[in-house]
């Protein structure tokens, strides 16, 4: 019978939500990775494994390489772990913990925790990127859904502000934006040409629609 790996669970505290960025590297089907995101979580100390300690998880901007994920032991800035994946980043923490447990076992120290097996920590969970409250706060930062890798896997998700407003209160321009988002670039260009022809300067609604359409065309050029 295969051994069951028990996943480490801990409450993650959000310190900073950060800023969402477009580009396929800044999100995945699992989560959005906001630049500047910071969270705090408890785990076995890599300095003294018999104690629990706080770790700070951060998402940094590595330029063209996209996000970098960093974990530091609170109050020990020299103990840091950096990787291009949140899962691998926390796997490095787990491996470092096991090294310290083995070292202290060799000295005869008692009451040490068991070695932590692969799969016992989930980097996405330890960052807080799967915590419902944090996910909701991150999603709220992406009202225009620029994190396409994430939203593509959630076609039926409706953001809170859209869900609470009844369709009649959202108005025709809200429905029009949804129509534009489903069109391809050629359809958008053709529709814009139709809208701007013979437009009246005081036709505010039509000018609003044209502005929305321009935004959607720009997104598809990215």
pLDDT digits (tens, 9 = 90+) for 31-61: 999 999 999 999 999 999 999 999 999 999 9
Q: Do 137 and 34 meet the contact criterion of CB atoms below 8 Å apart?
A: no
Q: Is residue 162 part of a domain?
A: no
Predicted confidence at residue 156, as pLDDT, reads 63
The total domain count for the chain is 2
| Single residue among 106, 138, 153 that ends a domain in this structure | 153
Instruction: Determine the Cα–Cα distance for residues 72 and 87; give it in Å rounded to an integer.
Output: 15
Q: Is residue 136 part of a domain?
A: yes
Structural domain harbouring 207: 183-220
27-41, 140-154, 158-172, 192-206: segment of lowest average pLDDT: 158-172
**Is residue 164 predicted with pLDDT exceeding 50?**
no
- Collapse the DSSP code of 26 into the 3-class scheme (helix H, G, I; strand E, B; otherwise coil) and give the result: helix
DSSP state for residue 16 in the 8-state scheme: E
Q: Does the model's pTM come out above 0.95?
A: no
- Residue 199 shares a structural domain with residue 148: no
> What are the DSSP E strand ranges found in 28-156?
38-44, 52-61, 67-73, 76-83
Main-chain dihedrals φ then ψ at residue 119, nearest 5 degrees: 90, -5
- Residue 148 shares a structural domain with residue 196: no
User: pLDDT of 60-105, one tens digit each?
Assistant: 999 888 999 999 999 887 889 999 999 999 999 999 999 999 999 9
DSSP state for residue 183 in the 8-state scheme: S
**Is residue 21 predicted with pLDDT exceeding 70?**
yes
């Amino acid at each position: 019978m295969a051994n069951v790996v028990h996943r480490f669970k801990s409450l993650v505290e959000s310190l900073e939500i950060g800023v969402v960025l477009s580009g396929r590297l800044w999100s995945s089907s699992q989560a959005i990775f906001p630049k500047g995101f910071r969270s705090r979580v408890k785990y076995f100390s890599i300095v003294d494994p018999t104690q629990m300690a706080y770790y700070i998880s951060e998402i940094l901007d590595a330029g063209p390489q996209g996000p970098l994920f960093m974990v530091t032991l609170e109050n020990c800035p020299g103990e840091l772990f950096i990787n291009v994946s949140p899962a691998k980043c926390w796997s490095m923490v787990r491996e470092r913990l096991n090294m310290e447990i083995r070292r202290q076992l060799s000295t005869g120290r008692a009451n040490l925790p068991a070695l932590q097996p692969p799969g016992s920590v989930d980097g996405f969970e330890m960052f807080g990127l799967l915590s419902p409250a944090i996910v909701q706060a991150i999603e709220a930062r992406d009202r225009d859904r620029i994190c396409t890798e994430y939203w593509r896997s959630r076609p039926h998700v409706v953001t809170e502000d859209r869900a609470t407003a009844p369709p009649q209160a959202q108005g025709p321009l809200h429905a029009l934006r949804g129509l534009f988002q489903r069109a391809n670039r050629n359809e958008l260009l053709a529709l814009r040409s139709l809208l701007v022809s013979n437009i009246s300067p005081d036709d505010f609604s039509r000018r609003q629609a044209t502005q929305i359409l321009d935004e959607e065309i720009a997104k598809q050029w990215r």
